[in-house]
Structure 1
Amino acid sequence: MDQKTLTNMFDQQAQHYDQQWQKMRPINDTLYLFLNQILNELPDDAHILCVGAGTGNEIINLAALNDSWRFTIVEPSAGMNQVCQANLQMQGILERCRFHQDYLNSFDDTAQFNAATSFLVSHFMTDTTIRREYFSNIAMRLLPKGILVSTDLSADTQAENYPQLLRFWFAVMSGSLSSEQELEKFKQAYRQGLAIIPPVKLAELIETCGFESPLHFYQAGMINGFYACKAA
């Protein structure tokens, strides 16, 4: 999916995004439970890079874990940024955050980060070279032994039971979609607009981009999560 189409899609969804996906919140709640465990030993002065942070839920979660942590949000969607800033302001944590409204490859700040999050971002990169550059750009911005926590849609699309998995996943998603037409758009995106690869291949890809061997710590349906430290 090209960047302009992707940005426009999230601009259109931003105002109602959290409400639309409320029924799938338990998936995020479980992810955040693990995320907190992974990052709970970061220092009090930690600076965390959040790429594609959407409406800011992961930041609200992490900000509650340590009231000294700072966050840099890289998010190309103006609509998502607007909602995110309003949510962070409501939680009283906006002053701990700064924003870069564009894609990561245009972020030329020299700051280095203790950790980075990338939730449901890289599967939109159907060009493997661009996907590798994305993870390499994150690694480049991390301090030594900095931690990446990443989730993506991932599955073996050649597996015999993949159609069954897809039907199950769409059934789960259907409770958050307003019509059969909207569901059909998602099905089309899964067929043509997303880079869905097996979890083992995704882990290998991340490792080749400047990270130690990732740990596959999380799975909920087709969402798979990995964390890895920056390689020495």
Structure 2
Amino acid sequence: MAEAIQYFLDHFKDPETVEHYADGPRRFVPGMDGLHRMTGLLLAEHVPERGHVLALGAGGGLELKAMAEAHPGWRFTGVDPAGPMLAMAAQMLGPNAARANLVEGVIDDAPAGPFDGATCLLTLHFLDRDERIRTAAAVRERLRPGAPFVVAHGSFPQEPGERDRWLDRYAAYAVASGADPGATAKGRDAVARHVAMLSPEEDEAVLRAAGFSGVALFYAAFTWRGWVAYA
């Protein structure tokens, strides 16, 4: 699994990947802008007007930009292991960059908090089950009691036959949304070989095993799922 993580880390440090990253997620993730809007709304149910939000896997800055523009009083700590993606996040934030502390690393490198809320979008699926639990638990330790944690990532049935069916749909959606068919086929193969996807039921169990309560599904779109849970 360490090799798989390194594979994708190298991918997100590639200059060409970074240059074109902003175009990618919307082609692969149905309703990306709506997902960001819902994430901010779910956090705002508990995060105060001057709250501090931890964003794990914040490279690229798409969710940071959306939250910063919608909630002008919030501060952010964004954590990502890919330095070039963090540089892109700072650029994406533009005039709001001063409200974000960007940390190169993993959850262990994040400040202790306590934070008023946290997000982890399109990231946890790169980790195997045990590391997901450990990472989610480390997020919970950095949250105030009752603070919300919003996660969204690839999550679909993993039974023989069903897994390939959903990976084909993942690729078909991207191509229908304008992604290059050849590059998409390579991406589908990389996901199939390197990403330790779990079923939605297993993903919910990960959050509970990490100590979160009130786990609730709020987003489901083809191969993607999103949950809100509470420390």
Note whether the superposition's TM-score is higher than 0.5. yes
Percent identity (aligned): 23
Q: What are the Cα deviations for residues 53-97 of structure 1, in whole angstroms up to 9, with x where unaligned?
A: 1211111111122211000000111110111111112xx101111
Q: What are the Cα deviations for residues 13-68 of structure 1, in whole angstroms up to 9, with x where unaligned?
A: 11111134454575211212321321223211210000111211111111122211
Residue 207 (structure 1) aligns with? 208
1:106 aligned residue (106, 109, 115): 109
Gaps of 5+ in 1: none
- Kindly indicate whether residue 99 of structure 2 is the aligned counterpart of residue 96 of structure 1: yes
Residue 132 (structure 1) aligns with? 133
Q: What are the Cα deviations for residues 75-123 of structure 1, in whole angstroms up to 9, with x where unaligned?
A: 111110111111112xx1011110111111233x232111110011111
8 Å CA contact 1:40–1:65 kept in 2: the answer is no
- Kindly indicate whether residue 125 of structure 2 is the aligned counterpart of residue 123 of structure 1: yes
8 Å CA contact 2:80–2:106 kept in 1: the answer is yes
Tell me how far apart the structure 1 counterparts of residues 158 and 113 of structure 2 sit (CA, whole Å).
38
Q: 1:64 to 1:14 in 2, by over 3 A?
A: same
8 Å CA contact 2:25–2:32 kept in 1: the answer is no
Give matches, 1:135-154, under 5 Å: 135-154=136-155
2:12 aligned residue (10, 21, 27): 10
- Kindly indicate whether residue 81 of structure 2 is the aligned counterpart of residue 76 of structure 1: yes
Residue 225 (structure 2) aligns with? 224
Residue 37 (structure 1) aligns with? 41
8 Å CA contact 2:22–2:62 kept in 1: the answer is no
Gaps of 5+ in 2: none
2:90 aligned residue (61, 85, 94): 85
Instruction: Name the TM-score, length of structure 1 as normaliser.
Output: 0.89
Deviation, 1:192, is 2.1
Q: 1:202 to 1:24 in 2, by over 3 A?
A: closer
Structure 1 SS opposite 2:188: helix
Aligned length in residues: 225
Tell me how far apart the structure 1 counterparts of residues 41 and 48 of structure 2 sit (CA, whole Å).
14
Residue 168 (structure 2) aligns with? 167
8 Å CA contact 1:151–1:226 kept in 2: the answer is yes
1:64 aligned residue (63, 69, 75): 69
8 Å CA contact 1:15–1:79 kept in 2: the answer is no
Tell me how far apart the structure 1 counterparts of residues 53 and 86 of structure 2 sit (CA, whole Å).
17
Q: 1:22 to 1:215 in 2, by over 3 A?
A: closer
Q: Which amino acid aligns with 1:114?
A: D
Q: Which amino acid aligns with 1:178?
A: D
Divergent runs of 4+, >6 A: none
Instruction: Name the TM-score, length of structure 2 as normaliser.
Output: 0.89
Deviation, 1:161, is 4.3
